[in-house]
Structure 1
Amino acid sequence: MDGDQAYEKIKETALSGRYIHHSHLIPILKKLSPAWKVEEIGFSVKGLPIEKITVGRGPTKILMWSQMHGNESTTTKAVFDLIKALSSGYSNARDLLESLTIVIIPMLNPDGAMAYTRLNANDIDLNRDAQDRTQPESRVLRSVFDEFSPDFCFNLHDQRTIYSAGSVPRPATLSFLSPAADSNRTVTENRLKGMNLIATINNELQLLIPGQIGRYDDAFNANCVGDAFQMLGTPTILIEAGHFQGDYEREKTRKYVFKSLWKALECVAFDPLDFDHEKAYIAIPENKKYFFDILVLNAHHLIKKIDTGDALGILYKELLQGDAIHFSPFVDRTGTLDGYFGHLTYDCAKPEDVILLKNHDRIAKLINFS
C-alpha cells in the first residue's frame, strides 16, 4: 500500500471543507476510545466548551493546538487525521504512544470558528494576547501549558493564498517557523531544536511537494504565543497550512500537514535532535506575498480605462454563507505587476484566454469589460 492509500484509510472523513466549527467535533470526540482522555478545560467568551485530548504513556510531552484563529481550519482536520492514525495503529503508532504523551487542543477559538473569523468574540487576536491574557481562551491555553510543562509545542494555523515559497511561481503549501525568543533573534538551544525538527520535516516534504515549503519571517513579538512559549524555554514550532494548486478546500494541504505532524512526532520520539541543521533551516525560502488567486495580463485589450500592459491582480474573499465558505473575487491591485504570479493566469493578448476569461462568470461580472 502506497503512502496516499494508507493516508486515505486514516483520513477523518467526518471533517471536510473550510467551515469547521465546534459542533462538527462533538460526535468525533464521543467516539474516541477510553485510551483517549477528553476533558473540558474552559469556555470561550460565548460559553462554548474548549476541550483537550490526552493520549500516550511516554516521558516526552507534546502540546499542540489548532484554530486559535477561527477561520483557520485546515490544521484541525489534520489533527483529527492524526488522532485517527494513532488510534488505528497506522505505521509505528504503538511505538509513538509508548514514547510520547500528547495533549491536543483541537479548537482553541470555537466562537471564531462558528463565525468564521480570525478573532474571538471580543474581536481580539488570541495570537497577540500571550502576555496580557485578557481573553478566556488565552488563559485556557496558558494554564494547560503551565500544568503540562511540554517538551515541544506545535502552534497550528492557516495562511493566505498570497504566499509563494520564495520569489518563484510556487505556492507555499506549508510554511514553518522556529520563533525567536528575543529581539536579537538569538539561536538558543531550544530554538535550534525547533530548527532541526523543521529541517528534518522539510527534507521529507520536498520529496512530496518539491519547492512548495516556505519559512516565516522571525521578527520577535513577545505577544505572539509561539514567541512567548519559546521565551519560557519550550521549543515551539509554527506550522501554517497554505495553498496547493486548485485546492481551495485544502483537502490536499491537510494531508501534508498530517505528514508533517507524523514526521515531527517520530523525530521527537526517536531522534535526540542534537545535531545542527540551522543552515538547512535558513535555506528554506522565506515566504513572499507574490501570488494572486487570478492574474489577468494585458488587461488593456479588454478594459479601455487601464494603461497598456497593465494587469489585474484578483483575490478571493472568503465569505460564510449558510454552512459553507464561498470565494468572492475582488480586484486587489492594478498595474504592471511584474514579478507576481497567479494561481490562475489569463493573458488577454491571447484570444483563447479571452474566451476562457469571458466564460468565467464571476470574473467577467467583476471586470465589467468595456
Structure 2
Amino acid sequence: MNNLQLATEHLENELKGRYVTNNHILPLMKKLPNQFRVKTIGKSVLDKPIYSVEYGIGPIKVLIWSQMHGNESTTTKGLFDFFNYLSSDTDFSKEIYTKYTLYCIPILNPDGAEVYTRVNANEIDLNRDAFEITQPESKLLRSVFEDYKPDLCYNLHDQRTIFGTETYNLPATVSFLAPAYNESREFNDVRLKAIKIINRMNDNLQKFIPNQVGRFDDSFNVNCIGDYFTFRGVPTILFEAGHYKDDYNRNEVRKFIFCSLFESFKQTNENDIVKNELDFYLKIPQNSKCFYDFLYKNVNFIDNTEKKTINFAAQYTEVLNLDVIEFEARIIQIEDLENHSGHVEFDLNEIVYNCNISNLPEIGAKADFVFGEKVKFKNGKQYEV
C-alpha cells in the first residue's frame, strides 16, 4: 500500500473543510489511545487552552506545531490523520514509537483559529515574533523548545492559491523549506539535515503530484520561527499546504501532508548525508506568485463608445460565516497578467463585459457579471441562465 492509500484509509472524518478550532480537535484528542499523552501546556491571549500531544519513547525528539496562523488548518487535519495511522498496530507505527518521541502542538494559535485569522488576539503574527517573543503563544513555544531540546522541528502551515512552481505553470500543492540561519543564506550541516528529509519527501510526492512541489523563499529573518530555530542549531522544516485542482477545502491536500509526515519518519533515522543532497534540493522549483483563482481573457468593454479588449483576474476571499468558510470571488487585477495563469480560465472571445454598476471591471468588486447577453457569471463561475 502506498502513502496516498494510507492517507485515504486513515483520514480523520471529523475534521473537514477549512475551519478547525479547539472545539473540533478536543473530542479527537480524548479518543486517542493510551500511547498518546495529551496535556494542556498553556493559554492564549484570550485564555483558551493550548494542547500538546506526545507520542513515542524513542531517543530522537521531534517538535511539531500547526496553526501558528489561525486560518491555516490543512496541516492540522493532516496531523490528525497521521495520529490515526500511529494508532494502528503496524510494524512501522511501532518502529516510530520506539525510535522517536513526537511532541505536537496541534493548534498554537487557538484565538486566531476561532475567528479564522492569521494573527493572534493581539493582532500579532506569531511567525514574526520568534526572537522578541512578546506574545504568550510565542513564549510558550520558546519554552517548549528550550525544555524539550528537540533534534528536529516541523513548522506546519498553509499557503495561498497564488503560488505555483516556477517554470511548470502548475499549482504549488505542497512546498518545503530548510530555513536559513544567517543573512547570507549559507548551507551548514544543520540545514543539510533538513534538506535531506525534504528531498525524500519530495521524491515520494512526485509519484502523486509531479512538478507540484515547490521550494519556499529562504530570505532570512531571525524573528521567523524556522529561521530562529535553525539559527539555534536545530534542523527545521517548513511545510506549506497549497492548492490542488478544485480542492479549495483542502481535503485532498491534507493527504499529501500525511504522505510527507509518513515519509519523513522513514528517513530521518539515516545519518549519512549524500554529497549531492544540496543539488537535489535546489532543483526543486521555487514558489512563484503566478496564479489567480479565475482569469478572464479577451474581454471587450466600451470606453467612451470605443471598444477595447482586456484581461482581468478574480481571487477568492475566505469568509467565516456560522462556523463555515465561504469563498467570495472579487476582481483583484486588471491587465498586467502576462506571466499569470488562472486555476480556472475563461476565454470570452471578445464578448462585451457589462454589469449592473459599470461597463468596466472594478478592483474589489464582486465577480458577478455578464458578457454579452447570455454568458453570466456568479461568484467567479459561469452558470447557465
- Distance in structure 1 (CA, Å) of the matches to 2:151 and 2:71: 28
Q: Structure 1 residue 317 and structure 2 residue 334: aligned?
A: no
Instruction: Show the counterpart of 1:92.
Output: 92
AA of the residue aligned to 2:55: V
Tell me the TM-score normalised to structure 1 length: 0.93
Partner-residue secondary structure (3-state), 2:171: coil
Partner of 1:363: 380
Change (3 A) 1:363 1:10: closer
Check conservation: 1:197, 1:273, Cα contact below 8 A. no
Q: Assess, with a 3 A threshold, how the Cα gap between structure 1 residues 3 and 194 changes in structure 2: closer, same or farther.
A: closer
Report deviation, 1:196: 1.2
Matched residue SS, 1:360: strand
- What is the aligned partner in structure 2 of residue 368 from structure 1? none
**What is the rounded CA distance, in whole Å, between the counterparts of 2:374 and 2:53 in structure 1?**
48
CA distance in 2, matches of 1:356, 1:224: 51
Name the CA distance, whole Å, in 1 between partners of 2:163 and 2:374: 24
Matched, 1:69 2:86: no
Structure 1 gap ranges (5+): 366-370
1:240–1:2 distance in 2 versus 1, CA, 3 Å: closer
Counterpart-to-counterpart distance in 2, 1:232 and 1:357 = 61
**Cα 1:357–1:279, aligned 2, differ >3 Å: closer, same or farther?**
farther
Q: Assess if the C-alpha contact under 8 Å between 1:267 and 1:273 holds in 2.
A: no
* CA-to-aligned-CA distance 1:151-206 (integer Å, 9 cap, x gap): 11000000000000113320000011000000011101010111111111111111
Q: Decide whether the 8 Å contact of 1:167 with 1:290 is kept in 2.
A: no
**C-alpha deviation, 1:338, in angstroms:** 1.0
SS at 1:77 equivalent: helix
Cα deviation code 1:130-159 (max 9, x no counterpart): 011110000111111111101110000000
Equivalences for residues 193-342 of structure 1 within 5 A: 193-269=193-269, 271-276=270-275, 277-300=277-300, 303-305=301-303, 308-342=308-342
Secondary structure, aligned partner of 2:268: helix
> Matched residues in 1 for 2:101 and 2:307: separation?
60
Q: 1:250 to 1:195 in 2, by over 3 A?
A: same
1:360 counterpart letter in structure 2: F
CA distance in 1, matches of 2:102, 2:26: 20
Conserved 8 A contact 1:176-1:216: yes
Instruction: Check whether the contact 1:10–1:88 (CA below 8 A) recurs between aligned residues.
Output: no
SS of the residue aligned with 2:203? helix
| 2:99 is the alignment partner of 1:103 | no
- Cα distance in 2 for partners of 1:191, 1:6 equals 29
Alignment CA distance shift 1:273-1:357 (3 Å): farther
1:307 to 1:12, Cα distance in 2 relative to 1, 3 A = farther
Decide whether the 8 Å contact of 1:193 with 1:273 is kept in 2.
Answer: no
Q: Report if aligned partners of 1:196, 1:273 keep a CA contact under 8 Å in 2.
A: no
Secondary structure at the counterpart of residue 327 of structure 1: strand
Per-residue Cα deviation, 1:233-268 (whole angstroms, up to 9, x for no partner):
000000000000010000110000110011111111
1:359 Cα deviation (Å)?
4.0
Deviation for aligned residue 1:362: 2.2
**Aligned pairs (5 A) from 1:91-170:** 92-170=92-170
**How many Å separate the matches in 2 of 1:331 and 1:268?**
45
- Which residue number corresponds to residue 81 of structure 1? 81
The structure with the greater share of residues assigned to strand is 2
Between the aligned partners of 1:9 and 1:225, the Cα distance in structure 2 is 33
Distance 1:129 1:357 in 2: 52
Matches within 5 A, 1:41-52: 41-52=41-52
Residue by residue over 1:268-310, the C-alpha shift from the partner in whole angstroms, topping out at 9 and shown as x without a partner, is 13x225223001101111111000000000112xx32498442
Aligned equivalents of 1:284 and 1:64: distance in 2?
Answer: 23
CA distance in 1, matches of 2:228, 2:11: 32
Cα deviation for residue 3 of structure 1 reads 4.8
Report SS of the residue matched to 2:67: coil
SS of the residue aligned with 1:304?
strand
Does structure 2 conserve the Cα–Cα contact (< 8 Å) formed by 1:213 and 1:284? Answer: yes
SS at match of 2:54: strand
Whether the 8 Å CA contact 1:74–1:254 is kept in 2: the answer is: yes
CA contact 2:4–2:256 (8 Å) conserved in 1:
no
- Report the structure number with the largest CA radius of gyration: 2
CA distance in 2, matches of 1:291, 1:112: 26
| 2:333 counterpart SS class | strand
Unpaired segments of 5 or more residues in structure 2? Answer: 352-369
Aligned length: 361
The secondary structure found in structure 2 opposite 1:296 is: strand
Whose helix proportion is higher, 1 or 2? 1
Task: Output the amino acid matched with 1:63.
Answer: L
Bigger Cα displacement from structure 2, 238-247 vs 188-197: 188-197
Which SS does the other structure have where 1:298 is aligned?
strand
Following the alignment from structure 2 to structure 1, what is the Cα–Cα distance between the partners of residues 150 and 373?
53
Cα RMSD of the aligned pairs, angstroms, is 2.0
